[in-house]
Chain A
Amino acid sequence: MPITKEDVKYIAALARIDVPEDKLEGMTKSLGGIVQYVEKLQELDVADVKPTSHAVPVGNVLRPDIIKPSLTNQEALAIAVEAKDGCFKVPLVIE
């Protein structure tokens, strides 16, 4: 199924990426080409095949619940775009 400009707008909104009108055509074309290429996976019968999510099988990995030294508030906020009162500051969300 070919990808349309509307699909690209929808995916872009999901991915929180703004694709401007003048780039929409190009992005639709390049994404469409790749999606068309990966369509070849539909040739295979995978009905009885189990999916692999990790090459090395691992179960739940737990460690003892022991507090260890970590970054201080000050160290963590040293890289903040904007900080206030020991917290990361973001634009106003609720008026």
Chain B
Amino acid sequence: MNLHALTAHALLDLFKSGKASAKEAYEAVVGRIKSIDPKVKAYVHLSRSQPHYAGEFQIPIAIKDNLCTKGEEITCASRILKGFRSPYDAGVIERIKKSGGSILGIVNMDEFAFGSSCETSCYGPTFNPWNLQCVPGGSSGGSAASVAADEAMWALGSDTGGSIRQPASFCGIVGLKPTYGRVSRYGLIAFASSLDQIGPLTKDVRDCALLMNIISGYDERDSTSVNEPVPDYTRALVNDVRGLKIGIPKEAFVEGLDAEVRRAVESALDLLKKQGAVIKEVSLPHTPYAVATYYIVATAEASSNLARFDGVRYGLRVQPGKVRKNALVDMYEETRSKGFGDEAKRRIMLGTYALSSGYYDAYYLRGQKVRTLIKNDLDQVFKDCDVIMTPTSPTVAFKVGEKVSDPLSMYLSDIYTIPANLAGIPAISVPCGFSKSGLPIGFQLMGRAFDEEMLLRVSYTYEQNTEWHLKKPTI
């Protein structure tokens, strides 16, 4: 039996019946990583510590390189954090360890989560397990690729504008961005604090519910964490959508959407309709402004959050050879110029511009106001619909290098995923087919704030009536 190829819930069943041990599972996955990862390059490094094999959920897990994990080098895939050995555990890492989880290692991402392809990493790109010439998506590309390639049972990622859902879609797995505040951000290295949320990347919907049970909940160390009761998400795994209302935004099925992706999402919709769901055309009129709003709000917050990387305390420090301004300012500038990659510099500078004197009202304040309009559109639709369905991404995975020199075209690949972050609502990506070229396609469901259960129920029903989630790449 190939233990590495199982889902976490199948593995837990084997543990219960005594047919496999957590140690065997962990070793099987490490073996898989050693044989496959030289091709996929999902991992930045394997864990420095051995698992303890105690607890209810002794599942081997991969951790994105922006989640502080005690004793591990955590770098956000950036040169500027090289050598930063985290002295503490993030809130979610504490929960994973308490549940018995075995940390396999740290996985790749776009530098500071700035990207949709995993190509801006200082370690070089991760490759899509379904086609090694394609990107795995991003920014949680290492998380998605590791799970799709059976190099982890499940993984944690973070999602600021689609960074869990888009790679999940590109790699043919399930990815959920929880409601803002559902999961503690304590110990997540911040990109855009009002948008960031940590979430699960898993092989199926049941695993998604299980991992949500582990990581969700209030944490007083994150002042934006919301003190609401956490349900048992596995109770939402019901194969029944009769009478549920699915909203289809007419703005979603327009120019720029790949024909194969469109067909796959429409057949998924047909299936849910046959299962008894009610389909309703709705309108989100401000959708065309979502990407522009996001790139103002997110970069402004990023420029502020990334000001802390200055060479003073930890990570990289570079002192230039000759004095330019004064020793300290020279050190800041040289460290940041050598430490950040081009995309990070571009976003920091864009955010600095949006916040700078004379431009604040025209860009940042206006962006926050349009954010309100986008949120209002969604609130309006959710008065009458239980979920909103769209493609997760307008295309399947693109080739490595294809979009790297055109930042704007890369940004536009997040067009479907960004609104959920701006509105703070939960959203999931679920596999729903393949292109002729053999690359996975996913659909996205958005739900009301704190109604992850509805997303899980509809996704589970779809999954129970299809077999896409059972397909495996040949690597």
Contact = CB atoms under 8 A, between A and B. Distances in A.
Most B CB within 10 A of own CB, among A12, A56, A75, A82: A56
A42 B25 CA distance: 55
Contact of B352 (A14, A63, A88): A14
Interface residues of B, number: 72
Nearest to B182: A56
Contact of B345 (A3, A19, A40): A19
Contact of A41 (B223, B296, B333): B296
A62 to B, nearest CB: 9
Interface string A21-48: 0000001001101110110111010100
Interface of B: 83-85, 87-88, 179-181, 194, 220, 223-224, 226, 286, 288-289, 291-293, 295-296, 303, 307, 310-317, 319, 326-334, 336-337, 340, 345-346, 348-350, 352-353, 356, 362-363, 365-373, 375, 407-408, 411, 422-425, 449
Nearest to A50: B372
Given A51-B371, A78-B85, A92-B328, 17 more contacts: A11-B352, A11-B353, A17-B349, A31-B349, A41-B293, A41-B363, A49-B372, A49-B373, A54-B180, A55-B424, A56-B424, A56-B449, A78-B87, A79-B87, A81-B311, A91-B327, A91-B331
Contacts, number: 165
Contacts of B331: 90-91
Contacts of B333: 16-18
Q: Which 8 A-B pairs have the closest CB atoms?
A: A55-B424, A51-B368, A91-B327, A61-B223, A46-B369, A38-B292, A18-B337, A81-B317
A37 B354 CA distance: 13
A77 to B, nearest CB: 9
30 contacts: A16-B307, A16-B310, A16-B329, A16-B332, A16-B333, A16-B336, A17-B336, A17-B349, A27-B345, A31-B346, A35-B353, A38-B296, A41-B289, A41-B296, A46-B370, A46-B373, A49-B372, A51-B371, A52-B375, A54-B194, A56-B226, A58-B223, A58-B226, A75-B87, A79-B87, A81-B311, A81-B314, A91-B328, A91-B330, A91-B331
Interface string A47-75: 00111111110100101000000010001
